[in-house]
Amino acid sequence: MDRQPCIFVVDDEPDNFDVIETLLYQEGYQFHYAQSGQRALDRLDNVQPDVILLDVMMPQMNGIEVCRKIKADPKWRAVPIVMVTALTSKEDLARCLAAGADDFVSKPVNGVELTARVKSMLRIKQQYDRLHNILQLREDMTYTIVHDLRNPLAIIMFAGDVLASAELPDFLRRNVVRLNDATDRLAHLIDDVLLLGKCEADRLVLTRTKVDLVAMAQDALKDFAPTLEAKQIELHQEFPNHPIEVLLDASLMRRVLDNLLSNALKFSYKQGQISAKLELQGAEGVLIHIADTGSGVSPDKRQAIFEKYEVGELVVGARQLGLGLAFCKTIVEAHGGQISVTDNVPNGSIFSLFLPSEPQP
């Protein structure tokens, strides 16, 4: 580390802080102190600790609850927590570990043991920081490369448009159509990757307008009609006979619907069935269901498939990059909504997304 490691001591007894500082003084660490669990949580951003020494027995909010709250926050999850406790029963120590603690030191604190455990935790934190920096650098390079792909792709798309308007034999025209379809898919993929990057950097800005979700869903289904016919897939739609208007980013939400419909088509067997349904949830919002009769998603993967680069069951002939559903989840949650997947009885999956009627803060 370029700076001195920072040790954050959380204890309701000031004398205990003095003991720990004295025992670790020769190591040259920075020390910060909080007298309560809530005060510790409030100061995390300012302190930026490398290791937290956390007393278990504190009033109002005990150390186990504080540990659980810290570890529940992705920003601080990697910071090692050493519980400092007078508790000795295996059940109490197990509770500390179950709350996310990385290690523990028994009271009265032994200087040799404390020094060794803090150094061990610092090594873990330093290894995490190095790995995080490497991954961040790789991520930044990836987004730069993906962004730069737009220029040559724009040239290819322009050339494809020129060819599409030319007088060509039928066999060449079919290949031009395939070329233009492929470049459109690639352009959407590039946009999805860049949008995911913006979301992860908290730089995504939604352009909300009042949109009729019924009309949007119907338009999306019309665009997929030729593919549905080619795969002999039956379509069932259940939409209200009146508009459902919601404030949202029309372009991004349309791409969410396109991704979900594309997945339903991709994983449906020939002569299968796809269902699209919109339900108004009172004044709360609207629920959209896209169901297929494909291979389904196993229970152990129903959360993972919404993470970047995660895929479900491998299906022969289906391209699976692990970005489409991650994009859907990111955009839906940016609108304050939720997305999930359940079983479609007797086979297949139902992807459900809820969008609130009013923009969420």
Ordered alpha helix ranges (H), the chain: 14-24, 37-47, 63-72, 90-98, 111-148, 150-164, 170-200, 213-230, 250-267, 324-334
**What are the counts of helices (DSSP H) followed by strands (DSSP E) for the chain?**
10, 12
| % the chain with pLDDT above 90 | 30
Q: Does the pLDDT of residue 313 top 70, yes or no?
A: no
Residue 109 burial (10 A CB sphere; 0-12, 13-18, 19+): middle
pLDDT value for 310: 56
Residue 148 vs residue 316, higher pLDDT: 148
Q: Does the pLDDT of residue 166 top 50, yes or no?
A: yes
Taking only the tens place, the pLDDT of each residue in 131-146 is 888 877 776 777 677 7
Question: Out of 3.30.750.210, 3.40.50.300, 1.10.10.10, 3.40.50.2300, which CATH number does the structure's domain 6-134 have?
Answer: 3.40.50.2300
Shortest CA distance to 257 belongs to which of 352, 181, 185, 359? 352
Rounded mean pLDDT, 61-77? 89
Q: What class is the 208-356 domain?
A: alpha beta
pLDDT value for 248: 92
Task: Write the CB contacts of 37 (distance below 8 Å, at least 6 apart in sequence).
Answer: 10, 58, 60, 61, 62, 63, 65, 66, 69
Residue 290 burial (10 A CB sphere; 0-12, 13-18, 19+): buried
Taking only the tens place, the pLDDT of each residue in 197-237 is 666 656 667 889 999 999 999 999 988 888 888 788 888 99
Rounded mean pLDDT, 355-361? 75
pLDDT value for 213: 93
**What b/e readout covers 12-47, taking b as 16+ CB neighbours within 10 angstroms?**
beeebbebbeebbeeeebebbbbbbbeebbebbeeb
pLDDT value for 5: 92
Q: Does the pLDDT of residue 179 top 80, yes or no?
A: yes
Rounded mean pLDDT, 51-74? 90
Residue 344 burial (10 A CB sphere; 0-12, 13-18, 19+): buried
Gap between the Cα atoms of 311 and 233, Å rounded: 23
Domain positions in the chain: 6-134, 149-200, 208-356
Q: Does the pLDDT of residue 246 top 70, yes or no?
A: yes
pLDDT value for 318: 45
Number of neighbouring beta carbons within 10 Å of residue 124? 16
Q: Does the pLDDT of residue 31 top 50, yes or no?
A: yes
Number of neighbouring beta carbons within 10 Å of residue 158? 11
CA angle, 160 as apex, 155 and 166 as ends, to 5°? Answer: 130
Greatest distance between any 2 Cα atoms in the chain: 88
pLDDT value for 116: 93
Residue 303 vs residue 361, higher pLDDT: 303
Question: Are 328 and 354 spatial neighbours (Cβ–Cβ below 8 Å)?
Answer: no
Tell me which range, 29-38, 145-154, 192-201, 300-309, is most confidently predicted by mean pLDDT. Answer: 29-38
